[in-house]
């Protein structure tokens, strides 16, 4: 009996230390920081009347969302699915990403001169708000990830490294699209996902 209690305490201790880890650098902290950044740009877009500023903000939003959805798709979502087996949550998130990608392509293919430009950015904002709420709500993806055995610190490092690579243009917006193959764990993960 004492042995079972000790084991239970150890498990709780490990989870508590996992929760106390630097949440700003763990996977969920990094993804939430992305959410807040894009939300701010959407708010600025809504307030501006300058076509140049709209184009600049829409560019930032689209780039950030493409990178964010890619690192979630390549790294976070597969780890989440493996750790939690929450297929419904995973599949809904992937479908939401697909819808956002289509709208992002339309926004990038047009500009403020398009009569529907502001409407497209507004609808994208609403789609992203819904998606963020689904991930961040009390029983959403992030809460379930924290309750699982996922190593959120290691995933945070992987997400940050991949995000940096994408933002600096080392791999372009699509991994392994005729460019040099990815090596190591990321290469194996990307191959396994396909």
CATH of the domain at 34: 1.20.120
4 within domain boundaries: no
Question: Does pLDDT of 21 surpass 70?
Answer: no
Residue 129 lies in a domain: yes
Share of the chain above pLDDT 90, in %: 73
Whether residue 104 is contained in a domain is answered as: yes
In a domain, 9, yes or no: no
32, part of any domain: yes
Q: Is residue 18 over pLDDT 50?
A: no
What residue spans of the chain are helical by DSSP H? 2-20, 27-47, 51-71, 77-84, 87-108, 117-136, 141-147, 152-167, 184-193
Q: Is residue 7 part of a domain?
A: no
pTM: 0.75
Q: Is 2 within a domain?
A: no
**Residues 64, 41 contacting (CB under 8 angstroms):** yes
Boundaries of domain holding 35 = 24-171+181-193
Does the pLDDT of residue 73 top 50, yes or no?
A: yes
Among candidates 37, 45, 40, 36, which has minimal Cα distance to 123? 45
90-148: per-residue pLDDT in tens?
999 999 999 999 999 999 999 999 999 999 999 999 999 999 999 999 999 999 999 99
Number of domains in the chain: 1
How much is the pLDDT for 25? 77
- CA distance linking residue 52 with residue 48, whole number of Å: 10
Which residues, at least 6 apart from 113, have a Cβ–Cβ distance to it below 8 Å?
A: 51
Residue 78 lies in a domain: yes
């Amino acid at each position: 009996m004492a042995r079972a209690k000790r084991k239970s305490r150890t498990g709780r201790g490990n989870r508590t230390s996992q929760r106390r880890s630097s949440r700003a650098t763990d996977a969920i902290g990094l993804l939430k920081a992305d959410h807040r950044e894009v939300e701010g740009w959407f708010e600025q877009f809504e307030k501006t009347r300058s076509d140049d500023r709209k184009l600049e903000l829409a560019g930032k939003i689209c780039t950030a969302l493409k990178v964010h959805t890619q690192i979630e798709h390549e790294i976070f979502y597969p780890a989440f699915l493996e750790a939690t087996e929450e297929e419904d949550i995973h599949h809904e998130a992937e479908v939401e990403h697909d819808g956002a990608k289509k709208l992002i392509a339309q926004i990038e293919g047009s500009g403020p001169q398009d009569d529907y430009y502001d409407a497209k950015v507004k609808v994208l904002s609403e789609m992203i708000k819904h998606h963020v709420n689904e991930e961040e709500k009390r029983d959403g993806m992030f809460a379930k990830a924290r309750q699982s055995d996922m190593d959120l610190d290691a995933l945070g490092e992987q997400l940050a490294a991949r995000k940096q690579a994408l933002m600096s243009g080392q791999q372009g917006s699509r991994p392994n699209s005729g460019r040099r193959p990815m090596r190591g764990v990321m290469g194996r993960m990307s191959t396994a996902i396909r």
